[in-house]
């Protein structure tokens, strides 16, 4: 379906274009003086014009000019512009009672979109209605000059924007007065009102240039125009060559015309100069690259590629500006489904964000308009599993240009062949004249002709059987018509029916004045948005017919818009019922009745004049949709670094987004080419080189032109020097940005020196820096070291010690954690720790968990912190539904933060964190408490300095594992082979057997040896001044036991 901005009419030919408009109340509507006028009489009348076709509004806009709104001083007179989906759904701009107001009609119920706005004839001249997409939103704006628009409504779209009819009209309910409503320039003001300001600038420069005698003014003018990225029409340019004095705008306006058709546009930086044009026309311009092929090339060499750029970094590093590339593209992700109604693709857990670039892969066909080897930009939404696609990065930012993914491939149907099959031709009856040709040979290949005489009884329709699954079905037909009588109303129809024969939708090919004998008229209608689901084996019916009982209607249907130049149809019978129908049509007293669906229902089907003829066998186009075999792939990282730029170093964060939007997605190839001497290329031009199917986009970095009797031109496109950075192998750090800078502010009389390192991890950014700030009064030093040690000791329970509870029950206590006051294992519960591969599989780092179970157990650790410094706490927890409540509390006398684990929610090692909080006191208590817990597990508990929670790490004063534990209190080694545990502290050195707690060796600071202490050697002899003792045993039986070594001189 054509977009709304293709509905163009400047009303300049003084004849209403009946191929665009249906006219109702034609005696009151006239195209006069280059305008469309509704001449409302002093009696009741409701003239209007309505677009013959519906238009697709999505991401497109319509604008028009109201030259004279007419009499709107009472409710008896009004003017309006309506946009309708059908009889019961639409919206309109209503001018009435001195005001303009937007209304919508939803399922037949009217409601206001805006409040009444007092009509201002000096301001409310140009109107623009724009549909943004995803979600579809409607913007209604006005402008006094077609330049700067003021928006009066920006809200939800009022109807289905995919098929909208446009209607202008005015009325007098009988109590009003005569009036004239004048409109003009429906999507057609570009040349006049759009280019005027830019035109003046170009023209002014032309006037200042004095090179006329060499016929260079025109060239200079066009050269100047390049700076505006505008192309001066060559014919008009000739006229302008003789303009050598300061000129008035109007004079040049008539001499120049500015072409905004980018297919003929020349010059650089189109988007700059086109910006005002785009704004004023609500249009979208995609520049077309210049293409050089063999016809103008002498030599062509294509090399390596650069891009597309996927990321931009502003850095300050001790190296020149450069470009860094990094590979390792992500794995392809399968598209599980496509929501054609909302242009959404589903890739579960795709993890992408707005602006991410992807390409498509498919094991089969690609759903049109999506193409392989083409960059698409992700437009994410709140659902992490779905996204839409846009063709440019800018579109993802402005929420426009969403690719309508439902527009899938056109599939040509051949009569009687897969994937659709047609039943037999059968016998056509009930017609005075009827012939059916299914041979496809008579008129054109792939054609089927039918001849309809709208006189007689209807015949049964034929069926179509789908051979494959299709998402949606539709019809695109071209019908050349010939009519035996002039000035008759006719309305050929194509009706799609379901398997039961019920009408689903009907497409009226044309409804307008007829044509005289032997005049062929092509009536093309595309009907693609039926929204009809089609499954394999489903039977559909397609029916062609002629709607009214008039003269013989002949229609021929074939694909590819191929039309016979010398048709040999003959005329048929005559029916005069059309006169009565005309009265019905024009006699409608309510504008709503002019909405097509209602009109067709009541006019075409509920009258006795309807006659249908079935076509049997044809070639039509059916759209298909499917997601099978389609996957998306992210692009390799192609990073542009702009380093050491003095201008934007002061605030790189502010500069980066703008730059990113401009650079992302670009890319080109290394090319060397010699042309035949074209001579207009400059460095920076983007040129597409083609050799057969090989296409290379080049970014001209060198251009050489030689004139020495002939013209020779060489163009060189080089790609930037690149450095490959394997971010993936950089210890988990994806990228690190270093910054060393000294900022001197002479106005503020201060100096700031910064040394920073910013590391980007998979999901977090860590920035360490030192900053020295010096002014006349003092020097301030700031140090931020994010990450570092965990402030919680024994945070996952590696360290344990034997203890006895209040009930004298021995238990294994988690070191550094305090338990409930009067802790009793039986009463309160247990707190144990153990290794857990399960937690690691779920993303945990330590592999060690603390498990709390019981009626009421709480473990607490007081942690010393720096007051006023940002802190973050994080952990992973597992708690199944019904396992009891748990709370993790961080508190002191002033602050308290609490995380509650609800036993009605299932936690599967989910990471819980609270970031960027501050303690006003130099300590915090970390408490983990459970009530009625079956099994609450926690791992990777950490309290860290910094405003973001880093990965788990141990405290800086400890080194803990399952068997070896160094803490601030000493060392403990667990030997599972010999079932021993050896501990060294400041006052103890001991070894115990773990199974029964038997002390095998122990020394403490009481001077008491509780076991025999033996020091063993390998021999026992005296050697000069040394005495070698094989073994010394200090018995433990005597409290005063010991050994003394006395030196004997």
Phi then psi for residue 341, to 5 deg, are -70, -25
Q: Which residue has the tokens 């709107």?
A: 72
Nearest Cα neighbor of 276 from 313, 336, 240, 230 is: 230
SS3 sequence of 331-399: CCEECCEEECCCCEEECCCCCCCCCCEEEEEECCCCCCCCCCCCCEEEEECCCCCEEEEECCHHHHHHC
CB-nearer residue toward other proteins: 186 or 663: 663
C-beta neighbour count of 397 within 10 angstroms = 15
Which residues have CB under 8 Å from 756's CB, separation 6+? Answer: 738, 739, 740, 767, 768, 769, 770, 771
CB-nearer residue toward other proteins: 461 or 670: 670
Q: In whole angstroms, how close is the CB of 642 to other proteins at the nearest point? A: 5
CB-nearer residue toward other proteins: 265 or 452: 265
Q: How far apart are CA 784 and CA 794, in angstroms?
A: 25
Q: How far apart are CA 128 and CA 279, in angstroms?
A: 11
CB-nearer residue toward other proteins: 35 or 670: 670
CB-nearer residue toward other proteins: 482 or 719: 719
CB-nearer residue toward other proteins: 636 or 911: 636
Q: In whole angstroms, how close is the CB of 534 to other proteins at the nearest point? A: 32
CB-nearer residue toward other proteins: 211 or 985: 211
Q: In whole angstroms, how close is the CB of 132 to other proteins at the nearest point? A: 20
Which residues have CB under 8 Å from 733's CB, separation 6+? Answer: 727, 759, 760, 761
Helix (H) or strand (E) holding 578: helix 578-586
Q: In whole angstroms, how close is the CB of 228 to other proteins at the nearest point? A: 5
- Residue 356 buriedness (CB in 10 A; 0-12 / 13-18 / 19+): buried
Q: In whole angstroms, how close is the CB of 658 to other proteins at the nearest point? A: 4
Token digits of residue 725: 């950075």
Whether the CB-CB separation of 1031 and 1017 falls below 8 Å is answered with yes
Q: How far apart are CA 1010 and CA 272, in angstroms?
A: 91
Whether the CB-CB separation of 312 and 321 falls below 8 Å is answered with no
DSSP tally for the chain: helices H, then strands E: 11, 71
Q: In whole angstroms, how close is the CB of 694 to other proteins at the nearest point? A: 8
Q: In whole angstroms, how close is the CB of 126 to other proteins at the nearest point? A: 22
Q: In whole angstroms, how close is the CB of 646 to other proteins at the nearest point? A: 4
Q: In whole angstroms, how close is the CB of 899 to other proteins at the nearest point? A: 42
CB-nearer residue toward other proteins: 223 or 728: 223
CB-nearer residue toward other proteins: 98 or 238: 238
Q: In whole angstroms, how close is the CB of 600 to other proteins at the nearest point? A: 41
Whether the CB-CB separation of 374 and 359 falls below 8 Å is answered with yes
Q: In whole angstroms, how close is the CB of 254 to other proteins at the nearest point? A: 19
Q: In whole angstroms, how close is the CB of 393 to other proteins at the nearest point? A: 8
CB-nearer residue toward other proteins: 258 or 491: 258
Q: In whole angstroms, how close is the CB of 327 to other proteins at the nearest point? A: 16
Q: Which residue has the tokens 């006169």?
A: 579
CB-nearer residue toward other proteins: 225 or 464: 225
Q: How far apart are CA 921 and CA 679, in angstroms?
A: 75
CB-nearer residue toward other proteins: 373 or 382: 373
CA distance readout (Å), 993 to 809, 973, 1001, 1012? 19, 12, 10, 16
Token digits of residue 478: 């071209």
CB-nearer residue toward other proteins: 275 or 963: 275
CB-nearer residue toward other proteins: 263 or 995: 263
Longest dimension (CA), the chain: 149
Nearest Cα neighbor of 875 from 858, 866, 887, 867 is: 887
Q: How far apart are CA 72 and CA 24, in angstroms?
A: 21
Q: In whole angstroms, how close is the CB of 320 to other proteins at the nearest point? A: 11
CB-nearer residue toward other proteins: 167 or 229: 229
Q: Which residue has the tokens 């157990």?
A: 857
Q: In whole angstroms, how close is the CB of 276 to other proteins at the nearest point? A: 9
Q: In whole angstroms, how close is the CB of 55 to other proteins at the nearest point? A: 25
Q: How far apart are CA 611 and CA 318, in angstroms?
A: 83
Q: How far apart are CA 259 and CA 240, in angstroms?
A: 15
Q: How far apart are CA 768 and CA 704, in angstroms?
A: 49
CB-nearer residue toward other proteins: 301 or 704: 704
In degrees to the nearest 10, what's the CA dihedral of 996, 1002, 1007, 1009? 70
C-alpha R_g of the chain: 41
């Amino acid at each position: 379906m054509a977009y709304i901005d293709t509905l163009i009419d400047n009303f300049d030919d003084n004849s209403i274009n009946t191929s665009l408009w249906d006219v109702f109340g034609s005696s009151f509507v006239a195209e006069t003086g280059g305008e469309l006028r509704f001449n409302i009489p002093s009696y009741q009348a409701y003239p209007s014009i309505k677009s013959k076709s519906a238009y697709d509004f999505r991401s497109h806009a319509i604008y028009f000019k109201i030259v004279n709104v007419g009499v709107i001083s009472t409710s008896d007179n009004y003017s309006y512009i309506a946009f309708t989906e059908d009889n019961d759904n639409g919206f309109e701009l209503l001018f009435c009672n001195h005001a303009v107001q937007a209304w919508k009609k939803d399922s037949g119920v009217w409601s206001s979109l805006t409040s009444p706005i007092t009509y201002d004839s000096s301001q409310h001249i140009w109107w623009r209605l724009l549909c943004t997409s995803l979600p579809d939103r409607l913007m209604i704006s006005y402008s006094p000059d077609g330049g700067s628009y003021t928006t009066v409504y920006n809200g939800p779209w009022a109807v289905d924007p995919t098929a909208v009819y446009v209607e202008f009209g005015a009325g007098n309910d009988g109590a009003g007065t005569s009036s004239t409503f004048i409109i003009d320039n429906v999507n057609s003001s570009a040349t006049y009102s759009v280019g005027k300001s830019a035109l003046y600038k170009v023209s002014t420069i032309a006037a200042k240039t004095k090179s006329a005698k060499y016929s260079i003014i025109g060239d200079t003018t066009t050269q100047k125009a390049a700076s505006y990225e505008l192309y001066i029409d060559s014919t008009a340019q000739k006229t302008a060559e003789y303009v050598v004095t300061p000129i008035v705008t109007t004079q040049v306006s008539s001499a120049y015309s500015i072409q905004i058709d980018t297919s003929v546009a020349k010059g650089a930086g189109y988007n700059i100069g086109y910006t005002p044009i785009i704004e004023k026309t609500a249009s979208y311009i995609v520049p077309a690259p210049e293409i050089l092929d063999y016809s103008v090339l002498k030599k062509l060499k294509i090399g390596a590629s650069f891009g597309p750029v996927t990321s931009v970094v502003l850095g300050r590093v001790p190296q020149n500006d450069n470009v860094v590339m990094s590979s390792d593209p992500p794995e392809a992700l399968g598209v599980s489904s496509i929501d054609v109604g909302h242009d959404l693709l589903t890739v579960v857990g795709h993890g992408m964000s707005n602006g991410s670039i992807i390409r498509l892969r498919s094991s089969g066909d690609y759903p049109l308009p999506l193409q392989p080897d083409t960059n698409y930009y992700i437009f994410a939404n709140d659902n992490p599993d779905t996204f839409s696609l846009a063709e440019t990065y800018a579109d993802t930012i402005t929420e426009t240009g969403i690719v309508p993914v439902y527009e899938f491939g056109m599939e040509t149907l051949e009569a009687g062949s897969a994937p659709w099959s047609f039943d037999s031709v059968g016998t056509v009856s009930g017609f005075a004249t009827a012939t059916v040709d299914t041979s496809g040979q008579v008129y054109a290949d792939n054609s089927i002709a039918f001849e309809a005489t709208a006189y007689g009884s209807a015949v049964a329709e034929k069926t179509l059987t789908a051979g494959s699954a299709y998402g949606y079905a539709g019809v695109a037909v071209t019908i050349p018509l010939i009519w035996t009588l002039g000035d008759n109303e006719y309305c050929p129809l194509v009706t799609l029916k379901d398997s039961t024969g019920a009408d689903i939708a009907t497409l009226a090919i044309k409804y307008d004045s007829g044509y005289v004998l032997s005049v062929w008229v092509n009536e093309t209608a595309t009907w693609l948005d039926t929204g009809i689901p089609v499954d394999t084996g489903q039977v559909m019916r397609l029916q062609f017919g002629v709607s009214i009982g008039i003269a013989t209607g002949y229609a021929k249907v074939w694909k590819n818009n191929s039309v016979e130049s010398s048709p040999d149809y003959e005329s048929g019978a005559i029916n005069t019922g059309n006169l009565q129908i005309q009265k019905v049509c024009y006699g409608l007293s309510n504008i709503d009745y002019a909405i097509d669906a209602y009109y067709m229902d009541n006019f075409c089907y509920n009258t006795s004049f309807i006659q249908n003829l079935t076509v049997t066998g044809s070639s039509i186009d059916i759209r298909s949709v499917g997601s099978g075999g389609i996957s998306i792939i992210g692009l390799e990282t192609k990073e542009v670094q702009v380093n050491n730029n003095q201008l934007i170093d002061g605030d790189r964060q502010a500069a980066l987004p703008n730059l990113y939007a401009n650079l992302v997605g670009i890319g080109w190839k290394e090319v060397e080419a010699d042309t035949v001497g074209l001579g207009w290329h400059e460095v920076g031009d983007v040129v597409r080189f083609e050799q057969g199917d090989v296409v290379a986009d080049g970014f001209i970095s060198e251009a050489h032109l030689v004139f020495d009797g002939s013209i020779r031109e060489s163009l060189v496109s080089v790609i930037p020097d690149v450095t490959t950075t394997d971010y993936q192998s950089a210890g988990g750090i994806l990228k690190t940005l270093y910054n060393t800078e000294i900022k001197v502010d002479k106005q503020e009389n201060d100096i700031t020196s910064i040394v920073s390192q910013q590391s980007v991890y998979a999901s977090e950014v860590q920035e360490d820096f030192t900053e020295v700030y010096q002014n006349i009064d003092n020097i301030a030093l700031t140090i931020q070291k994010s990450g570092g040690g965990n402030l919680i000791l024994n945070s996952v329970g590696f360290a344990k010690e034997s203890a006895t509870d209040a009930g004298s029950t021995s238990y294994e206590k988690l070191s550094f954690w305090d338990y409930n006051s009067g802790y009793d294992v039986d009463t309160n519960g247990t707190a144990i720790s153990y290794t857990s591969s399960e937690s690691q599989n779920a993303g945990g780092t330590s592999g060690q968990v603390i498990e709390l179970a019981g009626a009421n157990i709480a473990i607490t650790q007081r942690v010393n912190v720096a007051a006023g410094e940002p802190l973050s706490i994080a952990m992973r927890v597992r708690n199944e539904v019904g396992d009891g409540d748990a709370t993790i509390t961080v508190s002191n006398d002033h602050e308290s933060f609490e995380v509650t684990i609800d036993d009605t929610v299932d936690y599967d090692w989910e990471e819980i964190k609270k970031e960027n909080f501050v303690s006003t006191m130099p300590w915090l208590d970390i408490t983990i408490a459970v009530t009625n817990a079956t099994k609450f597990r926690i791992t990777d508990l950490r309290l860290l300095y910094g405003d973001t929670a880093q990965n788990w790490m141990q405290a800086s004063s400890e080194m803990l594992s399952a068997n070896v534990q160094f803490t601030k209190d000493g060392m403990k080694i667990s030997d599972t082979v010999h079932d021993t545990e050896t501990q060294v502290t400041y006052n103890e050195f001991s070894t115990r057997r773990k199974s029964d707690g038997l002390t095998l060796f122990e020394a403490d600071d009481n001077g008491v040896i509780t076991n025999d202490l033996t020091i063993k050697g390998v021999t026992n002899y005296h050697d000069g001044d040394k005495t070698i003792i094989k073994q010394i045993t200090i018995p433990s039986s005597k409290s005063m036991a010991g050994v003394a070594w006395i030196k004997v001189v």
